[in-house]
Chains A and B, each alone.
Chain A
Amino acid sequence: MYELVKNCYDANATDVYVDFKDASLDPINGTITISDNGTGMSFSDIRDKWMVVGTNSKRTKLYSDPPFDRKFVGEKGIGRFAVDKLGERLLIRTKTKGERRRLNVTIKWDEYETKANAPKPMLFTEMANEFFYEPAPADEHGTTLVISRLSENWSNFDLDRLYIELSKIVSPFYPVDPPFDIFLNSNTDLEYRNTAVKADPVKYYSHYGELSFDLSTGKQQVLKLNQSNGKIQTDWIDIQSFGPIKMRVYYFNESAKKRYRTAYKNDESRIDGIKIYRDGIITTPFAEYEGDPNKKRDILGIDKRRWRGAFDKVGTREIIGVVDISKQQNPNIIDATNRQDFIDNSEYRRLKEFIIEQIDVLGELKDYERKVKRSAVEKELQKASDEVKQFSTEIRSLEKQIVREHPQLKGVLTPLVDQASTLGKTISDSISEQKKFEKDVVRKEKIYLSLMSLQDYAANISHAVRTSLGKIKRSAEFFVNNFPNPTFDDLFKEYALFIYGEMNVLLKVTDFMLSYASSELDFEDVDIKELIESIFLSEYRTVLEAENISVELEIRDTFIINTNKRFFHDIFGNLISNSIKALRNTPNKVIKCSGLLGSDAFDLYFSDNGYGITKGDEEWIFGLYNTRTADKGGAGIGLYIVEKRIEALRGSIEVAESEFKPIGATFKITFPFDRD
């Protein structure tokens, strides 16, 4: 439905009527009618474009006919598919302006399927669909789709969902010009009587921010938190590279979310993050319908960054926002042809940053509110503690006085006094408990990441270098002691080659040291999934292709860590180069890398279907200079670096059971989160 209505927009319609007739109870006899006042279609349009899935007409043309010049939002050639899903029969009634006849075409998919399954199958395009013309006024234009023999029934709940989705097509704040109005009608749901589809006003939010711009001064508004009163305000900055934008954002804090859940019966799908509209119409990356909020794509990267500090960052399920851009003011924000995102250019990257900066202001607000609440709780507790102390002091002096005058009351008063002092202690205990808990929470917010200690590192590397130098020195010493004794000619040659090779190994080791020395300088936020994908699909693509190795990547989850990219390049670079050696004699070479996020660690599995690891070598292979591929140029450095790099990230690596057993090898790499 969503796709069909978007098609109406692309056809320059200003009104769309969606009508459900008996669709809730009796879908076989029910109908859905979608009619618009758009340009309409000619016979050849239907035959050559509408009926053909994936026609290129929308590819080559990005905008609809003048004077509307609308940026197409519908997916190319999806119309027939969409209708096919809704029902088995379709009547298209369509007419372009100036024509004197209206075209009627009837399509019966149910019959087509019967014929397609017949002994002599027919292609859909070969089917003779029934059509006829009928007279109509010349100035009439538009298309009506009548879908019958419906595949599913449409409950009131379904209509509500459709209403919400349709209401997202048009920006709630900056109406389209020329307009695009949608009306929904149902003969079974009283709520929809040619009801104009408009985004419900956002209710129950706790904070609201609105940004605009001023072209005369070249300024753009940004959000700002007033730290003294916790209010969201605005400030002016220069208009950014992506051009001036308008933005509205509604934030739901905890109590607002509670109110919201109560009002909308736990349906949180309406709080769905930030969407970008262009000239009042939703942009294609945001235009795909996805009912399950867990499957929604995080186009702007709002949720990805939350792994780092889930407590301070605001995510898509806490905000409703609209960013309005325009063709004219923001020409470099361009929809990617795959409809999944915008074209990655510096302007779009800056726009994403800008949006996240605004959301981060809400994060500051969240933090501010938490602190205020925390100090309020602390104050309350402190006050209670003071009062109880005062109370026990008073009761104790009272006790003395009363007992002196009325000794029979001692039995009643003493337990009271004891209770008061126990209560005092309980309260002060709970204050310290609460403080301890806060501290724990702060610690858990960080993903654990730090370098191994410098002493460990120095010991490690000096051992490696000395071992290497020892070998070189003994070889040289052998020359000093024995050259030119011809008995040793073979050994002289062997040692000369060895010294040369070992020097190269030493250079690698020192490079490793140098990278370590400088690595602290360039830590940055890294999206693990993106990084691994770029390593496999860009950097090593040509190498892997040249070796005929196919790559299977299954990085199901991702998270952002602040790390040194170089470390990951070293890890995967070395693993891949090992796999290439191990796969040399394997016919269908595969390298597989999968990753998943657990509650306390991120696990990565790296596998190939090569000759595998000899039993008993599972730990030995990580040692420096330990190699079984010396004949293939293995120096025994790769896995050593891999292990050290992973250890430096406080992770671990081990040989796991091969995913390709009985052949192949699998490494399991674990990066634990902070548990300290």
Chain B
Amino acid sequence: MNLDSTQIVVIHDGLISTNDPLLVELRIRFGEQNVEYFPSSNPGLEYVLANLSSKMVVLLDVNFSHGEKSGFQVFEEIRERTSLIYVIMITANDLNTLRTEDLITLVNHDAFAIESVASDYIKIISLVDKAAHQLEVRVASVLEQWINLRSPDEQATQFIMTSDGTKYTLGDLLGEIRQQSEIGMAVERNILVLAIDLLTRQKEKLNG
């Protein structure tokens, strides 16, 4: 697994500044350069939105100081832009005191996990591992990385034309997959079927 390229963004105001054991262990595991730490939510959100093309796992606090966006607001704003970033909520609140509507938002918009700040950090790190791994294997992630490696000309090339005559570039397809439209889901399924077909016929060697 290529964990080095996954960005871990920690947006939390309840950590020991810069040297919290959680940050130290994340840096050891994912590389110093891949762990970004923001003690307040607004700059953290800005960073995430400015780096949407990276594979990213966000560890997000729920409560921030007055005048800052809450963790739920940050989560929603990320989700308005992408569903490809995994978000793990870490809170000092008693989970029983979270509002039902916030929990519904988390589930419906695919929050990866919610964990207590008082849990062992090892548990939090294993959640990050899991999220990073899933990022690697998501079709959209693989496709997105593939697209990012192509030249602008190749990116503009139309790859698929449907029976009604609509044409799609790779970028268009990525958009459809992200939005989970009919064509997006069909393409996603077909890519996986094709990959298995290739694997079983041993026509291609898989990397890694």
Contact = CB atoms under 8 A, between A and B. Distances in A.
A484 B117 CA distance: 25
A622 interface: yes
Contacts of B118: 466, 469-470, 473
B65 A620 contact: yes
A477 B63 contact: no
Given A471-B20, A473-B118, A462 B94 contact: yes
A477 B21 contact: yes
A467 B21 contact: no
Interface stretch (A252-260, A279-287, A341-349, A490-498): A490-498
Interface in A454-473: 459, 462-463, 466-467, 469-471, 473
B14 A495 contact: no
Interface in B68-111: 68, 92-94, 97
A491 B24 contact: yes
Given A462-B94, A469-B118, A471-B15, A478 B21 contact: yes
B65 A622 contact: yes
Contact of A498 (B13, B16, B25): B16
Interface in B139-168: none
A469 B118 CA distance: 7
B38 interface: no
Given A495-B21, A620-B40, A475 B16 contact: yes
Given A459-B97, A491-B24, A620 B68 contact: yes
Given A620-B65, A620-B68, A471 B13 contact: no
B121 interface: yes
Given A477-B21, A626-B13, A620 B67 contact: yes
Counting chain B CB atoms within 10 Å of each CB, which of A473, A474, A630 scores highest? A474
A310 to B, nearest CB: 35
B21 A459 contact: no
A491 B92 contact: no
A209 interface: no
Nearest to B120: A477
Interface residues of B, number: 28
Contacts of A622: 65-66
Contacts of A498: 16
Contacts of A481: 25, 122
Interface in B23-67: 24-25, 40, 63-67
A619 B117 contact: no
A622 B68 CA distance: 12
B19 interface: yes
A623 interface: yes
A462 B118 CA distance: 12
A479 to B, nearest CB: 9
B22 interface: yes
Contacts of B66: 619-620, 622-623
B14 A474 contact: no
A467 B67 contact: no
A443 to B, nearest CB: 30
B108 to A, nearest CB: 25
B14 A471 contact: yes
Contact of B19 (A469, A470, A494): A494
Contact of A619 (B22, B65, B97, B122): B65
Given A463-B93, A477-B120, A491 B67 contact: no
A109 interface: no
A466 B122 contact: no
Nearest to A475: B21
A208 interface: no
A471 B122 contact: no
Nearest to B124: A474
Interface residues of A, number: 26
Contact of A623 (B19, B65, B97): B65
A467 B122 contact: no
Interface string A629-648: 01000000000000000000
Given A477-B120, A623-B13, A470 B67 contact: no
Interface string A491-508: 100110010000000000
A376 B60 CA distance: 67
Contact of B92 (A467, A474, A623): A467
A625 interface: yes
Main SS of chain B's interface residues?
A: loop
Given A477-B122, A622-B65, A626-B65, A471 B97 contact: no
Contacts of B17: 630
Contacts of A618: 67
A470 B117 contact: yes
Counting chain B CB atoms within 10 Å of each CB, which of A459, A462, A466, A481 scores highest? A466
A494 B66 CA distance: 30
Nearest to B19: A494
Contacts of B116: 466, 470
Contacts of B65: 619-620, 622-623, 626
Nearest to B118: A470
Contact of B63 (A463, A471, A475, A630): A463
B19 A491 contact: yes
Contact of B21 (A474, A619, A625): A474
A431 B60 CA distance: 59
B8 to A, nearest CB: 16
Contacts of B63: 463
B96 to A, nearest CB: 11
B10 to A, nearest CB: 13
A478 B24 CA distance: 9
Given A620-B40, A620-B66, A623-B65, A477 B14 contact: no
Contacts of B117: 466-467, 470
Nearest to B63: A463
Nearest to A620: B65
Interface string A259-281: 00000000000000000000000
Nearest to A616: B67
Contacts of B13: 623, 625-626
Nearest to B20: A474
A121 to B, nearest CB: 63
Contacts of A469: 118
Nearest to B21: A478
Contacts of A477: 21, 120-122
Given A477-B120, A620-B67, A470 B92 contact: yes
Nearest to A469: B118
Contacts of B121: 474, 477-478
Nearest to B23: A474
A377 B17 CA distance: 69
Nearest to B117: A470
Contacts of A626: 13, 65
Contacts of B64: 623
Contacts of B68: 619-620
A622 B65 CA distance: 8
7 closest pairs, A vs B, by CB? A623-B65, A619-B67, A478-B21, A619-B66, A470-B117, A467-B14, A466-B92
Interface of B: 13-17, 19-22, 24-25, 40, 63-68, 92-94, 97, 116-118, 120-122
9 contacts: A459-B94, A470-B118, A477-B21, A481-B122, A619-B68, A620-B65, A620-B66, A623-B64, A623-B65
Given A463-B93, A478-B121, A619-B66, 19 more contacts: A462-B94, A466-B116, A466-B118, A467-B14, A467-B92, A471-B15, A474-B20, A474-B21, A477-B121, A478-B21, A478-B25, A495-B21, A619-B65, A619-B68, A620-B68, A623-B65, A625-B14, A626-B65, A630-B17
